[in-house]
């Protein structure tokens, strides 16, 4: 289910959210996808690191756009509890 969402989330939100939010989500999806590889080589590590850096660069855009809303308002951090 989560892998299915990973495959389409960027396409679904494109044109609906601000570009900076789209770039943050795209970078996060790229990071997750690449980090799940069975074998990770040096060139993959560089790409994974770049995706993570890009996400951190744009993640404040997600908060500003209201993307971290909880029951009691904005969640000012990115700490996601394990379910």
pLDDT digits (tens, 9 = 90+) for 3-19: 788 788 898 999 999 99
Q: Please give the tally of structural domains in the chain.
A: 1
Report pTM: 0.79
pLDDT for the residue 53: 96
Distance CA 5, CA 17 (A): 17
DSSP 63: H
Residue 79 in domain: no
Residue 83 in domain: no
Residues of the domain holding 22: 2-61
Residue 50 in domain: yes
| 78 vs 11: which has the higher pLDDT | 11
Task: Determine the angle formed by the axes of helices 19-35 and 42-64, rounding to 10 degrees.
Answer: 150
Q: H/E element holding 74?
A: strand 73-74
């Amino acid at each position: 289910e989560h892998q299915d969402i990973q495959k389409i989330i960027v396409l679904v939100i494109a044109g609906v959210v601000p570009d900076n939010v789209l770039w943050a989500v795209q970078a996060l999806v790229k990071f997750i996808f690449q980090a799940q590889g069975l074998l990770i080589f040096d060139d993959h590590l560089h790409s994974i690191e770049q995706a993570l850096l890009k996400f951190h660069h744009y993640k404040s855009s997600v908060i500003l756009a209201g993307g971290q809303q909880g029951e009691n308002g904005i969640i000012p951090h990115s700490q996601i509890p394990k379910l």
